Amino acid sequence: MQKPIEERLIELFPSQSLRSVIKSSGYRLSGMQLITAAYQYAPDYYTRLALLEELIPGLDGELHAYCERLVEGQKSNLAEFTKACPGVVFELMIKTAPDAYEERYLASSYEAALALIPKFYEEYECDETDSARYEITKRRVLDGSDFSEDELGSMELLKGGRILSVDLEGRYREAEGCDGLCNNCENGCAKYAVFHFPVFVRTGDAVSFTEYSGKKRFGIIGGTADDECDYAYVLPLDSSVILCRDFENLFDCHEHIPVPLVERIEADELPDEYRESYIAVKNYLDSMDTPNRSEHIAQFVLQ
């Protein structure tokens, strides 16, 4: 028997720590949060469509209409992006691993760009890895008569050419005065909306997070909100500030990571090369007087 869709959407969050606190606290996702979870954390384009379509019957009013627009917009994006047009080329970017060089090739059509991916591996006699990432950019060929931006849209792909996302340049504009929750921006809000979740990390906690490229990174929480949070305030352990122990400028290296991407880990789970840096930063944070630390949190956590 299939699980309820809310439960399946929560399971899409990469962070097991967040999933656990949602379950233990009884926290419930709102209608817009369900839409956003499906849009942002679906593993690929077609799963995103299926989840959004499944949500539609259970939504009321504007959210119902909004989700329908999302589905139609996603389908329209794909059809428009893949369509051949005069004076247009498709640029393929191949990145075989998170730290690999970005290889780029021009193709005459979308189909030709896709066909280049397996041919690349045949040419270099290597195997495709799970962390391989691709991007196809649709570009207008400029003739020099005037100047304009050449990008018409882009598509992100995963291993095996599986489509992750497709967007058309300039198709979606925010409504005037949009606060991120108005649902009048077609897929604009669902793509960028961030919501508050129960706090599950605290100052000094070791964390990991994985970028779209597939690269796993590690950090330490530099400060937290009191009750609910949208982004985690992370001091990345691979930053030059931390590696050089430049703690006077420690808070300048912070990054805001959406909490569904952040995993709380134990310090002994950190790679060896980061463990000493973690201990040094934690000791520095512990040594700060409370008013001083609160000032930094107020200054940076909410920015």
Residue pair 253/236 in contact by the 8 Å Cβ criterion: yes
Please state the rounded mean pLDDT for residues 61-85.
93
Q: What is the token pair recorded at 180?
A: 């991120």
**pLDDT tens-digit readout, 217-267:** 999 999 886 677 889 999 999 999 999 999 999 999 999 999 999 999 999
**pLDDT band for position 302 (50/70/90)?**
very low
- Angle, helix 61-82 to helix 45-55, in steps of 10 degrees: 150
Query: Which residue in the block uniquely carries the two structure tokens 């030059």?
Result: 240
Region of 204 on the Ramachandran plot (φ > 0 left; ψ -120 to 50 alpha; else beta): left
Length of the chain: 303
Residue 44 has pLDDT above 50, yes or no: yes
**pLDDT tens-digit readout, 22-32:** 999 999 999 99
Residue pair 163/155 in contact by the 8 Å Cβ criterion: yes
Cα 258 to the center of its chain, rounded Å: 8
Phi, psi of 102 (to 5 degrees): -85, 110
Residue pair 41/15 in contact by the 8 Å Cβ criterion: no
Helix (H) or strand (E) holding 235: strand 231-236
pLDDT of residue 272: 95
**3-class state of residue 280 by DSSP:** helix
**CB contact set of 274 (below 8 Å; sequence gap of 6+):** 218, 237, 238
Sign of the alpha-carbon dihedral angle for 45, 48, 50, 52: negative
Check residues 63 and 185 and name the one with the higher pLDDT. 63
Q: What is the token pair recorded at 191?
A: 């793509």
Please state the rounded mean pLDDT for residues 158-183.
73
Q: Say how far apart CA 78 and CA 93 lie, in whole Å.
A: 18
**3-class state of residue 169 by DSSP:** coil
Neighbours of 11 (CB within 10 A): 12
Cα 99 to the center of its chain, rounded Å: 18
Please state the rounded mean pLDDT for residues 175-185.
55
Neighbours of 10 (CB within 10 A): 22
Q: Say how far apart CA 99 and CA 128 lie, in whole Å.
A: 15
Query: Which residue in the block uniquely carries the two structure tokens 């040419």?
Result: 123
Q: Say how far apart CA 169 and CA 147 lie, in whole Å.
A: 16
Q: Say how far apart CA 254 and CA 264 lie, in whole Å.
A: 17
Check residues 43 and 289 and name the one with the higher pLDDT. 43
Q: What is the token pair recorded at 141?
A: 């060929």
Q: Say how far apart CA 260 and CA 197 lie, in whole Å.
A: 9
Q: What is the token pair recorded at 28?
A: 């419930």
Cα 166 to the center of its chain, rounded Å: 14
- Of the candidates 157, 147, 144, 265, the one whose C-alpha atom is nearest the C-alpha of residue 205 is 265
Find residue 138's DSSP bridge partners: 90, 153
Q: Say how far apart CA 222 and CA 212 lie, in whole Å.
A: 23
Lowest model confidence (mean pLDDT) among 72-86, 88-102, 190-204, 256-270: 190-204
